[in-house]
Structure 1
Amino acid sequence: MTLAPTPRPRQSQRLAMTPQLRQAIGLLKLDNRALSDALRKAEKTNPCISLRRPVAGVITDQVPAAPDDLTAHIAQQIRLAFDRDDEMSIAYALLEALEPWGWLGASVDTIAQGIGKAPQQVDAILKHMQSFEPTGVFARSLSECLALQADELGLLDPLMRDLLDHLDMIAAGEMDALARKCGCTRKDISTRLAALRGLDPKPGLQLAAAPPPPAAPDLLVTGTPDGWHVSLNAATLTEIEILPGLDAQSRRDAEQLNRAVARRNATALTVARQIVAYQAGYLDGAAHLVPVTLSQLAAATGKHESTVSRVTAALTVQTPRSVLSLRTLMGRGLRGIGAKGAAIPVARFESRLSALIKAENPNQPISDAQLARALAAEGIGAQRRTVAKYRAALGFPPAHKRRQASGSK
């Protein structure tokens, strides 16, 4: 008998991930903005693809012009304030040492040594730049920052200077000792403290870059006489136009991409419309979302759970109440008990859990296990550890600590 290895034919079936399938799956994971970016890349490499850019719609993603940041604002003032090259070199060295909140982040001696200038020269330029806007920039301490602003407002009298020299005593609440030290009354101190509270300890943040606006939603939900209507947001949607070309393969690739985008858009609408149908009560004003699972959506739409998962994770929707991700609009829930076993909204679970704890006998607090049994009697299924997690999130301590707190009263 020969034991040497020999080749044998074998047949088997397996799912092949074709390039077209990979492309379709990849598009499902993209929101409208990312999809537009992907199409622009395809346009650069395929001569048969021409894109029609998003048109103005109900909601656009235009970004308003951001105000100048602190560095640009100070640089502009430097160009207006100084003419000589040596002065400007010192001024720009000071600008490099400026912290985002507007204070000078290095000592005059350190800056002077770094640029090979005398400290007196740097200090003279610094004094000039401390008059720049916003008032208080280039201060070397909190007291100097507030003093610059108080001086601008005509508030820097001798008593105000004394108070700014003793901010540590103000922070410690030593008002009587401070009044004796400054030779004034507490009322005098209170009057000036009220003025100090109106000053800005971090003036540079007035010119901090504005945060980017939120991205425009991918889908829109609008009310109609026939119910809630779901549509793609045309203001964020790029469309493909196929151009004639000599390269047959490029045209086939363009047509395939166009079909994949159309399927992606149709799938997004199908899933979103089903979610909105489940959440019609919430959109009409109900307090809680109805918990919807991926398996429920898959069964209702005829899509695979993985397809539904990709769509709901990627897309956002503008509803009359707020902009939400599709996954958020699905709601969260806990399993129910009984024949139907319907999911229970988390908000309802938290409300009942809070009510049970508040209604307990303070001398005999209910344990997490007892709370779980009480909720189960109402048709809300939750393990003891789940009850413990939500109890802690609601701010209620464990039963033994609630008992101790009750006994100490």
Structure 2
Amino acid sequence: MKARTNLQITQTHRMNLSLGLQTALHVLRADAAALIRYLEEQAAETPALVLRPVFPGAGDWLPRWSGVLPHSGPDEVATLAAHGPSLMAHVVSAIPALVSGERDRKIALALADALEPSGWLGRRLEDIAAELGLSVDAVSPVLSRLHRIDPPGLFARDLAECLRLQAIDAEVTDPILTTMLSRLDLVASGDWATLARAAQTSEAEILVRFRLIRSFNPKPGASFAAIASPLREPDLIARQGEGGWQITLNHSALPALTIDPDASGAARAREVIRLVETRNTTLLNVAQAILSHQRAALDVGPSALRPLTMQSLAETIGLHKSTVSRVVAGAAVDTPHGTWWLRRLFSSDMGADTAAAALHARLARLVATEDAAQPMSDDALAQALCSDGAALARRTVAKYRAELRIPPAHRRRLKP
């Protein structure tokens, strides 16, 4: 038998992305950290592209530090971050391993009740002790044990103690850092010369410790929020001004880009700068549209989030859904209620113009304020959450509770 060759002609369609388009998409979806890595690689290959890092100067603090510096005033502590959905559950579950005895356990729960969303104690230790009918000397040892709960900095009484606890945990405490933590007013104003004299060291050593302080988290409790991003440099900043909410790029998150006209690769350097500018413009436009829709959440916190889909937003601002998805993939915005993932601000409609993400926050608040002796069942939680017209089944509440790491009612009940 002879073998026969059978030739067939078929027509297929394939889309090949050019290298330039692939690069543009990569830059578009990059968060600040990924974009810095990309720029560093490009600068190494393109002599004309010059990266000028943002060095710390007077008042040059990360956005997440706003509201906690000494000149901010004590009244701002209560609005540092959105209520952490599982902060209370996390703390209460850690107490039995650290505290024994009925009296100390009551002290620990009283201290937990005094936690602010930021993770700081919102009341003076003297007031808590007086309410319990005990001395401060009896309450202080229990507070010291609660300082061991992760993340470091929880149960701090002020910013200096919050940072000191994190420095101790990281094993980086030294006399220079201790001096700086005792003079945070000078740190906030960037008075390196005065700090150097106070610590009897050089300004270079002060700047080394300053960068270390910047890496700490001044709001350790905010990381428990349902829509919070991990500790990181946010891409955007949302602040309320005279004309309403202002959304701006966080320019301190990225190095400044310039072109060296005497070096080779000027055309490539201009192309990189154009890609970054396009990414920044697109990110800012998308973020402004998202936060304009979620203005109520900026005012009061995540419990006021409204339903929003990427498709509806894309149609509103004239972009493709895939572009919106890419640009919000790793982006975060710093708000007075904490640092939020932009992607988490999209949420399905649960009825009565209520977003699923808002119900997560409301569920956490209900559990945090319930009677510990008679915790609410999933049925009771569902009824409370549906009081404003939202549609929520008991099994959905159970699912949300599990996502927030909140134990069921029988495990939340405070035993006598």
TM-score (norm 1): 0.48
TM-score (norm 2): 0.48
User: Larger radius of gyration, structure 1 or 2?
Assistant: 1
